[in-house]
Chains A and B, each alone.
Chain A
Amino acid sequence: MSKGVFKKSVSPVTEPPAVRYLLIGLSILVLAVFLVLPLVTVFVQALQMGLWQALATFSDPDAISAILLTLLVAAIAVPCNLVFGIAAAWAIAKYRFPGRSFLITLIDLPFSVSPVVAGLVYILLLGPFTPVGAWFLQDFGVRIIFAVPGIVLATIFVTFPFIARELIPLMQDQGTGDEEAALSLGASGWQTFWHVTLPNVKWALLYGVLLCNARAMGEFGAVAVISGKLRGETVTMPLQIELYYQEFRALAQVSAFSLAAVLAGLALVTLVLKSWLEWRYADQLAAGNRGH
């Protein structure tokens, strides 16, 4: 009898201990094998010939220019998508207009299209022998394809959905009540946006920006097609890693993994930054009843 009473004190949605430990163990195992192990391998490979050899990679001008180019591309693509993402999310969440659901589908397009296809499309559209490409080349002296502008365009395309996707459900959920309240109190459209709308979505926005940034720095397929792989000019970090890896020098292998370690390190910094912000502003997140 007492055993029966005891059983009832366990929540009905809790599984028996065996099931719980099995599920937890499985998750940890999968994470270890597929995520932690490769990450460790990157750092181990980078350091296999000593720290100095690994650091020597960064005296190679190609490596330096690849790092700088990657940072430049991310620095342009992320702010662009920040603006596009907020605008698109605002339009979809706050207004009803014909073609609204089509726009939602369109925003997801970069997720469903292979990045290689995206790169090819830009070459066919903006290459030097197309009308648009020739116009830019002749009238402005600007090359788009096999140059930095093309890489930025391709990166913007590939990373477009991240911020919009984070904001849309949250903005839809919040509705327009707070904005109406701000307007009725005399705030202008801009004041309402800065003081009410933006603070209401800032955590989702930050999360979207971090994801967008990670993808912008790591994008390979679309950039590989459009860059032309001119060493020191249009090669980003992921491309440079591949170029190093294709060489048959042992030192190049070290360089490949050293650069990969930097890329992985940037991703880790992003994660740590996000966790730190969440910890630092835990009270605000709780007060807002929402967060990631």
Chain B
Amino acid sequence: MELGIRDVRKEFNQYPALHGVSLDIRPGELIALLGPSGSGKTTLLRLIAGLDFPTSGQILFGDEDASNKTVQERNVGFVFQHYALFRHMNVADNIGFGLKVRPGASRPAKAEIRRRASELLDLVQLSGLEKRYPAQLSGGQRQRVALARALAIEPKILLLDEPFGALDAQVRRELRRWLREIHDTTGHTTVFVTHDQEEALELADRVVVMSQGRIEQVGTADEVYDQPNSPFVYGFIGESSSLPVRVANGELWLADRAIGLGAQDVPDGDAILYFRPQEIELLDGCGGCIAGTVAASRRVAGSRRVELKIGGQREQVEIELPVGHPAAQQSRVAFRPRRYKVFPAKAT
């Protein structure tokens, strides 16, 4: 099922949660809505589901305008952050609920519902737990049951709201891989919301980065990581350091020194330089470089993170060095980003 979101705006008590968002989702795609809290990602997901309705704009299911359809008519599978399993029903009844409440003619026979429930339990690797109650399951198991329940109604699209948000790190990683497998097996168009960039980048075909009710960038993991199109995306996805600079004649200047980096598309004036701490080269001499005094150095997993004070001690940036690199012992370090991006200062 193709999904179109056309200039959708949503206000809660006149307070805008989404400002005219547009997005096209291809059939069978696995899409992540990624953003900090308050970015509108969950609001967008609920609008797609029909649990809320847009103030203006359209939501298209294929060629059909679904904007005014109820959640029941849209036939979507929705997986809630806190599972929302029915606590008084056992696992099999939970999964079969969507089939049991169908109107007369389209309702499968009881035995058929039971068979479908066991089948789905096999799919989510929980065979044999039909008779358990939700309270008797672990968090990860509950989330699997919730997914099986959503799949039972053969939804046109699958929507997941922070599906792994309430689970611990180990289980999250496991379920992530498992969700990808389920998606590849069933082929549903899937949209999931997350604030965990690692989850989004690893799992999704395309990542939709959102901030303050707007879509900042849509792209594959490589695109949003390697070519962030805004200061927000640069800062939100992966590690980044920033440094205020000045652009003059397509060159970057730090105080009164050119630092040997070009900036073709940026107008003259104040700007901000963004780069990844690990994508730098160290220099011996400083004919066009960024130089700073070492303020602190920390061991982070497989590398060493060095904090540098730059330009009269006012600015601070972080760079990453291999463990045991001699530069970490020095008091002054000179470097130049291998890859970087410059945004005009006003845009931040």
Q: Which residue of B lies closest to A198 (CB)?
A: B88
Q: In chain B between 170 and 211, which residues have their CB closer than 8 angstroms to a CB of chain A?
A: none
Residues on A with beta carbons closer than 8 Å to the beta carbon of B153: 185-186
Residues on B with beta carbons closer than 8 Å to the beta carbon of A191: 101
Q: In chain B between 128 and 143, which residues have their CB closer than 8 angstroms to a CB of chain A?
A: 133-136
A186 to B76, CA, bound (A): 9
A195 to B150, CA, bound (A): 17
- Interface flag for B293 (CB, 8 Å): no
Per-residue interface assignment for chain B, residues 259 to 286, with 1 indicating a CB less than 8 Å from any chain A CB and 0 otherwise: 0000000000000000000000000000
Closest 3 A-B residue pairs measured CB to CB? Answer: A185-B98, A181-B84, A187-B101
Chain A residues proximal to chain B, CB less than 8 Å: 177-178, 180-188, 191, 195-196, 199-200, 202, 284, 286-289
Interface of A is mostly: helix
Residues on A with beta carbons closer than 8 Å to the beta carbon of B135: 286-289
Q: Which residue of B lies closest to A286 (CB)?
A: B135
- Interface flag for B228 (CB, 8 Å): no
User: A182-B97, A187-B101, A288-B135 in contact; A200/B72 too (CB < 8 A)?
Assistant: no
Query: Which of B51, B70, B97, B134 is in CB contact (< 8 Å) with A185?
Result: B97
- Closest Cβ–Cβ distance, residue A184 to chain B (whole Å): 4
Query: Which of B51, B86, B134 is in CB contact (< 8 Å) with A196?
Result: B86
Residues on B with beta carbons closer than 8 Å to the beta carbon of A200: 86-88
A-B contact count (CB 8 A): 75
A228 to B136, CA, bound (A): 57
A286 to B133, CA, bound (A): 11
User: A177-B80, A186-B102 in contact; A287/B71 too (CB < 8 A)?
Assistant: no
User: A178-B84, A181-B80, A186-B75 in contact; A195/B101 too (CB < 8 A)?
Assistant: yes
- Interface flag for B49 (CB, 8 Å): yes
A186 and B133 contacting across the interface, CB-CB below 8 Å: no
A184 and B51 contacting across the interface, CB-CB below 8 Å: yes
B102 and A177 contacting across the interface, CB-CB below 8 Å: no
Per-residue interface assignment for chain B, residues 33 to 46, with 1 indicating a CB less than 8 Å from any chain A CB and 0 otherwise: 00000000000000
The listed residue with most B CB atoms (<10 A of its CB), out of A178, A186, A289, is A186
A187 and B87 contacting across the interface, CB-CB below 8 Å: no
| 25 pairs, CB–CB < 8 Å, chain A vs chain B | A177-B84, A178-B84, A180-B71, A181-B80, A181-B84, A181-B86, A182-B86, A182-B97, A182-B101, A183-B51, A183-B72, A184-B51, A184-B71, A184-B76, A185-B97, A185-B150, A185-B153, A186-B153, A191-B101, A195-B97, A195-B101, A200-B86, A287-B87, A287-B134, A287-B135
Per-residue interface assignment for chain B, residues 41 to 77, with 1 indicating a CB less than 8 Å from any chain A CB and 0 otherwise: 0000000011100000000000000000011100111
B86 and A183 contacting across the interface, CB-CB below 8 Å: no
Residues on B with beta carbons closer than 8 Å to the beta carbon of A182: 86, 97, 101
Q: Which residue of A lies closest to B13 (CB)?
A: A96
- Interface flag for B246 (CB, 8 Å): no
- Interface flag for B82 (CB, 8 Å): yes
Residues on B with beta carbons closer than 8 Å to the beta carbon of A185: 97-98, 101, 149-150, 152-153
A184 and B77 contacting across the interface, CB-CB below 8 Å: yes
Query: Which of B72, B76, B88 is in CB contact (< 8 Å) with A199?
Result: B88
- Interface flag for B78 (CB, 8 Å): yes
User: A185-B98, A195-B97 in contact; A180/B51 too (CB < 8 A)?
Assistant: yes
Contacts beyond the supplied A181-B78, A286-B135, A287-B133: 13 A-B pairs with Cβ under 8 Å: A177-B84, A180-B51, A180-B80, A181-B86, A182-B101, A184-B51, A184-B150, A185-B152, A187-B97, A191-B101, A195-B97, A202-B88, A287-B134
A286 to B135, CA, bound (A): 8
A288 to B88, CA, bound (A): 7
